[in-house]
Amino acid sequence: MAERSLFKRLFDPTEEEKQEIIEGVKEGQKYLNILSEEGFSGFVKRISEEELKDQGVSEKEIRKRAKEVEKFEKKAAMPKIADFMISPKKVFSKRSLNL
């Protein structure tokens, strides 16, 4: 069977295509929520943890690696800069400035 045109997939999707679209939208919403709540560095951290789970790495090893990353992030300026670019209000909140 020939592949359906983009027009037909968009305007008359099959049930399978509808499910794929719904799953994609849900995944996008999940990532958007992570970005807005945890910032860019939290998003990257969460994605890397999910990738390690998919590779079969144990929870204990993932936690160990996360602690190592946290130690590095405390020393590095780049995650803070990336978070500022995404959400400057979170970086300069009253709580983070200890006011």
* Cβ neighbours of 43 (radius 10 Å): 20
pLDDT of 97? 46
AA identity, residue 15: E
In angstroms, rounded to a whole number, what is the distance separating the alpha carbons of residues 4 and 14?
A: 10
Please list the pLDDT of the chain residue by residue as tens digits (99 residues).
Answer: 578 888 888 889 999 999 999 999 999 998 888 888 888 777 888 888 888 889 998 989 988 888 887 777 676 655 556 565 655 555 455 444 444
In angstroms, rounded to a whole number, what is the distance separating the alpha carbons of residues 73 and 69?
A: 6
pLDDT of 25? 94
pLDDT of 67? 85
Q: Quick one: which of 25, 54, 39 has its CA closest to 96?
A: 39
**Boundaries of every domain in the chain:** 14-97
In angstroms, rounded to a whole number, what is the distance separating the alpha carbons of residues 31 and 23?
A: 12
* Cβ neighbours of 39 (radius 10 Å): 21
pLDDT of 68? 82
pTM of the model: 0.53
Q: Quick one: which of 83, 84, 1 has its CA closest to 42?
A: 83
